[in-house]
Chains A and B, each alone.
Chain A
Amino acid sequence: MGTQNIQPAIVQFAQLDKLLALGRANSLWPMTFGLACCAIEMMATGASRFDLARFGAEVFRPSPRQCDVMIVAGTISKKMAPAVETLYDQMPEPKWVIAMGNCAISGGPFVFEGQYGIVEGADKLFPVDVFIPGCPPRPEALIEGILELEEKVTGSRRWPRVEVG
């Protein structure tokens, strides 16, 4: 399961692989899928002020068969976990997962002794490629997460990283 375990091809085509990676990185179609309040920020990212469409990633497909990246936006309750896992399994390879927000990273504010209802992090269910911290993260952070995923796919960054002063 997951993109990490795919065996490399026996015959390597470096330039062609780069082209394929560029194609995949620039057309990351996310799934129309939100679990909690982070999904509201995800919708704001797609709307006019932040415009995810600039990177070709605005095609939110409703069916997991046509998605490339699953943005786990919100708290995964134990009751919801099987559904989330099914959605992940239904996505065709190559597929990526972005864990958005503290709940999807580690359970966030819901982790305490004796809690019984929350899955403590999306990585307990399936491999996660990019973690976006925040509660909830700003839309800029989600865009940065998508750019980070593009960097992971192609190996090079679209723009120089902004230094925090």
Chain B
Amino acid sequence: MHVDPEILRLVAFLVGVIAFAALNAAYLVWLERKEAAHIQRRIGPKEVGPFGLLQPLVDGIKLMTKQLIVPAGVDPVLFKIAPILVMVPAIMSFVAIPFSDTLVARNLDLGLLVIFAFASVNVLGLLLGAWGSRNKYAVISAARVVSQNVAYEIPMLVTVVTLVMISGTMNLSEIVGLQMGGFWHWNILNLAASPLMPVAFLIFFVCMLAETNRAPFDMAEAESELVAGAFTEYSGMGFGVFFMGEYANIVIGASVATILFLGGWDCPFGLFPGVHWFLIKMYFLIFTVIWIRWTFPRTTFYGLLNLSWKILIPISFVNLILTSAMLKVF
């Protein structure tokens, strides 16, 4: 019997992508709890399995067997579809991400565009869930999430446009290919293209934090103000899927930052490039995201919007104009 290798490849990548997303979502929760504990001079989960490594499994069992409450008065369709709308686009974005020069599910010419198109569905899922659960805290949270995401998409996309101008392509594999050969070739240090590239990376990273609703910009789930924000009415796995979607989005954000600025799978010293370098850089960025969450207090909502509209957007536009001028002159 002849089986088309393309179909086998498709199935292998489908299983691989879903497993990667789900495992990351589960074990990043463990990493977050351990890291939070050590930052606060605690030990963190240690009794459930060695180093508490079975904690995500146990939490998963608990969440899956918990009663799913659909409160009276909610919009049943929106309430049930919202967690899926957060999780599915996050998994689908993995399709376009090149982990190494051969390990990519689909080498799309417009990979960057695909990822940002899927990433913008995330906010829609949160909005629908919060609106559908007909809870005052959830609706306030939804309003905040939307204005926050609108404010931070702009500097993020302007920064990405800058990078696309430098690279001349939206194919993620080609963007990495242009940065091969050591850390002085990476876009973060590409000072010949624009002296503001390290700042551009900082803008991208801050916007990534805000887009994934992570502290210090976690306006969506501001526990001290809004109970649990958009997730207030979700119990059991409905909440679990939201939570996993959040971590999957962080993985996507860290991967995109690695590809665009940190040279993807390139080794900093020009030796043995490969998927391990991609993972090292990605997990370092994720570690930093968690580190920031547990060491910085939450900003006020006005501070959040002011940071975007008054600081990040002007700087990213300056960078855009500077880069285009440099590209034209040199």
Residues of A at the B interface (CB closer than 8 Å) are: 19-20, 22-24, 26-27, 32, 47-48, 51, 53-56, 58-59, 61-63, 65-66, 68, 92-94, 158
B61, A23: Cβ atoms closer than 8 Å? yes
Q: Collect the chain B residues with CB atoms within 8 Å of residue A47's CB.
A: 40, 42
Q: Which chain B residue shows the least CB distance to A65?
A: B235
Q: Does B153 contact A (CB under 8 A)?
A: no
Q: Which of B40, B61, B67, B227 contacts A92 (CB 8 A)?
A: B67
Residues of B at the A interface (CB closer than 8 Å) are: 33, 37, 40-48, 52, 54-55, 57-62, 65-69, 223, 227-228, 231-236, 239
Q: Which of A48, A51, A62, A94 contacts B227 (CB 8 A)?
A: A62
Q: Collect the chain A residues with CB atoms within 8 Å of residue B47's CB.
A: 26, 54-56, 158
Q: Which of A32, A62, A92 contacts B69 (CB 8 A)?
A: A92
B33, A58: Cβ atoms closer than 8 Å? yes
A27, B62: Cβ atoms closer than 8 Å? yes
- State the majority secondary structure of interface residues on A: loop
User: Could you jot down 20 A-B contacts, CB within 8 Å?
Assistant: A22-B58, A24-B62, A26-B48, A26-B54, A47-B40, A47-B42, A48-B40, A51-B42, A53-B42, A54-B45, A54-B46, A56-B59, A65-B69, A65-B232, A66-B228, A66-B235, A68-B66, A92-B235, A93-B66, A94-B66
Q: Collect the chain B residues with CB atoms within 8 Å of residue A92's CB.
A: 66-69, 235-236
B43, A53: Cβ atoms closer than 8 Å? yes
B67, A93: Cβ atoms closer than 8 Å? yes
A56, B58: Cβ atoms closer than 8 Å? yes
Inter-chain CB contacts under 8 Å: number:
95
B235, A62: Cβ atoms closer than 8 Å? no
Q: Which chain A residue shows the least CB distance to B33?
A: A53
Q: Collect the chain B residues with CB atoms within 8 Å of residue A24's CB.
A: 61-62, 65
Q: Which of B45, B55, B66 has the most CB of A within 10 A?
A: B66
Q: Collect the chain B residues with CB atoms within 8 Å of residue A58's CB.
A: 33, 37
Q: Which of A19, A47, A62 has the most CB of B within 10 A?
A: A62
Q: Collect the chain B residues with CB atoms within 8 Å of residue A94's CB.
A: 66-67
B58, A23: Cβ atoms closer than 8 Å? yes
CA distance A12 to B48 in the complex (A): 26
A66, B239: Cβ atoms closer than 8 Å? yes
Instruction: Tell me how far the C-beta of A130 lies from the nearest C-beta in chain B, rounded to whole angstroms.
Output: 18
Q: In the A-B complex, list the 7 residue pairs whose CB atoms are closest, starting with the nearest.
A: A23-B61, A92-B67, A63-B228, A65-B235, A92-B235, A27-B62, A48-B41
B59, A27: Cβ atoms closer than 8 Å? yes
Q: Collect the chain B residues with CB atoms within 8 Å of residue A26's CB.
A: 47-48, 54-55, 58, 62
Q: Collect the chain A residues with CB atoms within 8 Å of residue B233's CB.
A: 63, 65
A53, B235: Cβ atoms closer than 8 Å? no
A20, B61: Cβ atoms closer than 8 Å? yes
Q: Which chain A residue shows the least CB distance to B232?
A: A63
CA distance A20 to B66 in the complex (A): 10
Q: Collect the chain B residues with CB atoms within 8 Å of residue A66's CB.
A: 228, 231, 234-235, 239
B59, A63: Cβ atoms closer than 8 Å? no
Q: Which chain B residue shows the least CB distance to A159?
A: B47
Q: Collect the chain A residues with CB atoms within 8 Å of residue B239's CB.
A: 65-66
CA distance A158 to B228 in the complex (A): 32
Q: In the complex, given contacts A23-B59, A48-B41, A54-B44, what are 17 additional A-B residue pairs having Cβ atoms less than 8 angstroms apart?
A: A22-B61, A23-B65, A24-B65, A27-B62, A51-B43, A53-B33, A53-B45, A54-B52, A55-B45, A56-B55, A58-B33, A63-B228, A66-B228, A92-B68, A93-B66, A94-B67, A158-B47
Q: Collect the chain A residues with CB atoms within 8 Å of residue B227's CB.
A: 62-63
* Known contacts A66-B235, A92-B235; A54 and B33 CB within 8 A of each other: no
Instruction: Tell me how far the C-beta of B289 lies from the nearest C-beta in chain A, rounded to whole angstroms.
Output: 19
Q: Which of A26, A32, A56, A65 has the most CB of B within 10 A?
A: A65
Instruction: Tell me how far the C-beta of B269 lies from the nearest C-beta in chain A, rounded to whole angstroms.
Output: 39
